[in-house]
Amino acid sequence: MNTELYLADLEAKPAALDALAGSLARDPFAGLPSGLRRVVLLGMGSSRYAAGVAALRLRAAGIDAVAEYGSAAIGYPPGADTLAVAISATGGSRETLDALARHRGRSVTLALTNVPGSPVTEGADLVVPMLAGEERGGVSCRTFQHTLALLLALTDRLTGARRDVADLVRRAAGATADLLDRRGTWLDDALHLLDGPHGVYTIAPAERLSSAEQSSLMFREGPRRPADACETGDWAHVDVYLTKTLDYRAILFPGSRYDEQAMDWVRRRGSAVLAVGGEIEGARPVRYAGDDDPEVALLTETLVAELVAGTWWAGGR
């Protein structure tokens, strides 16, 4: 991994998203057959984070969907009415390939990858490229963002929704550019607020849990700092205890009906929270264009943690 190239990868996000939006003028999932009843999303790491929120959206629309660890020894059985979606940015994740093997030839298989011709595409009924470009820094950042966007497009295809995903991706490109262009107004404060001795904790609603998971991964993967993610409502049951004993520093991605429940504890115990995309009493806000749209937020908000992590990494901190 290379910190300078990683920061350059982040800088390239808006242009890559604009290019992806242009490609969505044609439905990349048009080749899927009708009559699919079950969707099994397979992946590891960032791929699984994105799969989790996509599976939740599919279930909310009445489709039997699950996000599985590629490494799981057991899982949904294959079937002719099952769509197995193998997600791998490099196309070579061993665990995902092993999980896909259970479905190849027995389920409809879809490979979502950033590397055409990679092992995950072999024998797939449909291959959809992420079109994120080469991530020369060695960290999944643009591929994570593009995976989310493409899974939203897949959700629309399977549910018959008429959302304009291309327009959503363009708005996310604008929101991403806004955060990058104005980093001089917020990044130093974020670096200071989150720089504690006990790591960084990230909190997000279930519908955007991938934002917390990806953000905490960035702190572990780049600057190698302790970090963990939690769902906002669940926070009061599993992470609240840390605010009593640690110098607790957190990023909160607002939007849950339980934001105030968490922040009540935070205020009482004097913990430090950065609120990305909203104004919440007791938290330092970072705002950006379009942050009032949860779908734009889903595709954009991890950039805050990515820039903080990249800056710490570059400084050897």
CATH number at residue 204: 3.40.50.10490
Residue type, 219: F
Neighbour-count burial of 131, counting CB atoms closer than 10 A to its CB (0-12 exposed, 13-18 middle, 19+ buried)? buried
Say if 177 falls within a structural domain. no
Residue type, 242: L
Say if 169 falls within a structural domain. no
Structure tokens at 175: 């929101």
Phi then psi dihedrals of residue 80, to 5 deg: -65, -25
Say if 173 falls within a structural domain. no
Strand order across the beta sheet in which 284-286 lies: 227-231, 200-204, 249-252, 272-276, 284-286
Residue 159 and residue 248 share a domain:
no
Residue 222 and residue 151 share a domain:
no
Q: What is the pLDDT of residues 97-119, one digit of tens each?
A: 999 999 999 999 999 999 999 99
Is the pLDDT reported for residue 59 higher than 80?
yes
- Count of C-beta atoms within a 10 Å radius of residue 315: 10
Predicted confidence band of residue 1 (pLDDT cuts 50, 70, 90): confident
Say if 192 falls within a structural domain. yes
Residue 190 and residue 93 share a domain:
no
Say if 155 falls within a structural domain. yes
pLDDT attached to residue 183? 97
**How many domains is the chain built from?**
2
Task: Tell me the average pLDDT of the chain.
Answer: 97
End residue of a domain, out of 138, 164, 190? 164
Say if 176 falls within a structural domain. no
Residue 150 and residue 7 share a domain:
yes
* Short-list 81, 70, 64, CA closest to 45: 70
Residue 225 and residue 147 share a domain:
no
pLDDT attached to residue 162? 84
Calculate mean pLDDT across residues 299-317: 92
Query: Is the pTM above the cut of 0.75?
Result: yes
Predicted confidence band of residue 316 (pLDDT cuts 50, 70, 90): low
Q: What is the pLDDT of residues 31-43, one digit of tens each?
A: 999 999 999 999 9
End residue of a domain, out of 129, 164, 199? 164
Residue 9 and residue 125 share a domain:
yes
Say if 49 falls within a structural domain. yes
Is the pLDDT reported for residue 194 higher than 70?
yes
The three-class DSSP label of residue 135 is coil
Q: What is the pLDDT of residues 121-172, one digit of tens each?
A: 999 999 999 999 999 999 999 999 999 999 999 999 999 998 899 999 999 9
pLDDT attached to residue 317? 53
Neighbour-count burial of 112, counting CB atoms closer than 10 A to its CB (0-12 exposed, 13-18 middle, 19+ buried)? buried
Residue 152 and residue 214 share a domain:
no
Calculate mean pLDDT across residues 196-212: 98
Residue 26 and residue 158 share a domain:
yes
Structure tokens at 218: 């960035």
Residue type, 227: A
Residue 255 and residue 156 share a domain:
no
> Is beta strand 108-113 parallel, antiparallel or unpaired with respect to 82-88?
parallel
Say if 109 falls within a structural domain. yes
Residue 192 and residue 53 share a domain:
no
Structure tokens at 166: 């291309």
End residue of a domain, out of 101, 133, 164? 164
pLDDT attached to residue 141? 97
Residue 303 and residue 158 share a domain:
no
Which domain, by its residues, includes 273?
182-314
DSSP state of 73: S
Residue 211 and residue 238 share a domain:
yes
